[in-house]
């Protein structure tokens, strides 16, 4: 399976296209319209995970902008509120509607074989966006997203370098159980800290939500005390922000008494990094709409596409975050 690593100028070009789209379009809907030159609109069903985080909201806006009528699409949008059964039902509904293409951000990796086969039987191409599935890759045309394991590795490398041989008690705020980013970010981080003095004393899912992160962190603090935790590894910024609330409520100082490493680089997370409440962030770029829309058009045109399209991520220290915060698109 080939990998197309979009970095440097290619990524900047894609982001520039997204920025232009965000400035000029009101987003997608199921409404019709003239997609330019009187051509018939491409009908697309998009099955989103939900609206669990700031990252997800930015991702949804990017997708709606890219799949707008101005760009030649008629979009039917469904957010499953992190209910896998509801998301699969939405995809089946898209198939019954006879859309031209389906885009899915799968909540979890497993359980997709049957409905993807149904889409294939109906000759409706499927593009996966953001998250992946465990199904055979001949059941989808392409996937566009981030290298979640590499994100975990980069977060773990910072932890290993920062704490070195110092005995360190770490707790983990996991993403949605069974999801690709939760699985891969955990695996990558664990590989990076292997052989160090960092000890993972507890790990629990906060479902990628701020409230979930706060609740889980409150439980950790009650169990171990603020003095018994040195490091928090959060699978996304929203859970890290919830953890900050819990740490402050316990009378400790986030970023000082308990250091935090997180993944996403959404605006609120970056602000917390600038404020010193988070210590390091690995980016997970949510602006995937233009790339997904381009893949849909290429597949429907019969053009050959890469099976996996990766977007490169950056990392941010407090100083680096301060330099770019005002110019962030999400």
The model's pLDDT over 248-300, given as tens digits with 9 standing for 90+, comes to 999 999 999 999 999 999 999 999 999 999 999 999 999 999 999 999 999 99
Tell whether 240 and 165 lie within a shared domain: yes
Longest CA span, the chain = 66
Parallel, antiparallel, or unpaired: how do β-strands 280-283 and 315-316 relate?
Answer: antiparallel
Give the residue numbers spanning the domain of 309: 3-147+285-313
- Residue 26, domain member (yes or no): yes
As a whole number of angstroms, the distance between CA 21 and CA 39 comes to 20
For the chain, what is the domain count?
A: 2
pLDDT band at 122 (very low <50, low <70, confident <90, very high): very high
Tell whether 266 and 293 lie within a shared domain: no
Cross-strand partners of 206: none
The answer to whether the CB of 124 falls within 8 A of the CB of 102 is: yes
The pTM of the full predicted model, rounded to 2 decimals, is 0.81
Query: Which CATH number do you get for residue 253?
Result: 3.40.50.2300
Tens-digit pLDDT profile for residues 208-239: 999 999 999 999 999 999 999 999 999 999 99
Terminal CA-to-CA distance of the chain, rounded, Å? 31
pLDDT band at 329 (very low <50, low <70, confident <90, very high): confident
Tell whether 12 and 140 lie within a shared domain: yes
As a whole number of angstroms, the distance between CA 84 and CA 110 comes to 10
Tell whether 11 and 134 lie within a shared domain: yes
């Amino acid at each position: 399976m080939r990998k197309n690593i979009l970095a440097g100028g290619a990524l900047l070009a894609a982001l520039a296209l997204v920025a232009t789209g965000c400035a000029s379009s009101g987003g997608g809907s199921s409404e019709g319209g003239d997609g330019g030159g009187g051509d018939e609109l491409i009908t697309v069903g998009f099955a989103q995970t939900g609206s669990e985080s700031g990252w997800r909201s930015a991702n949804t806006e990017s997708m709606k902008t890219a799949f707008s009528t101005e760009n030649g699409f008629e979009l039917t949008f469904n957010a499953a509120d992190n209910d896998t059964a509801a998301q699969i039902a939405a995809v089946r509904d898209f198939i019954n509607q006879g859309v031209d293409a389906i885009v899915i951000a799968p909540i979890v990796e497993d359980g997709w074989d049957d409905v993807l086969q149904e889409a294939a039987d109906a000759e409706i191409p499927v593009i996966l966006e953001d998250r992946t599935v465990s199904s055979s890759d001949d059941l989808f045309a392409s996937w566009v997203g981030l290298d979640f394991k590499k994100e975990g590795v980069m977060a773990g490398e910072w932890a290993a370098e920062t704490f070195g041989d110092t005995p360190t008690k770490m707790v983990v705020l996991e993403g949605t159980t069974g999801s690709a980013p939760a699985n891969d970010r955990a695996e990558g981080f664990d590989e990076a800290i292997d052989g160090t003095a960092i000890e993972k004393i507890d790990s629990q899912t906060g479902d990628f939500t701020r409230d979930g992160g706060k609740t889980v962190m409150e439980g950790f603090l009650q169990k171990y005390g603020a003095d018994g935790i040195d490091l928090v590894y959060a699978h996304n910024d929203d859970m890290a922000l919830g953890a900050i609330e819990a740490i402050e409520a316990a009378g400790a100082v986030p970023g000082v008494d308990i250091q935090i490493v997180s993944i996403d680089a959404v605006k609120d997370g970056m602000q917390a990094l600038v404020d010193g409440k988070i210590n390091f962030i690995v980016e997970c770029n949510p602006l995937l709409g233009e790339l997904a829309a381009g893949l849909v058009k290429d597949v429907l045109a019969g053009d050959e596409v890469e099976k996996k399209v990766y977007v490169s991520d950056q990392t941010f220290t407090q100083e680096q975050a301060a330099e770019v915060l005002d110019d962030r698109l999400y």
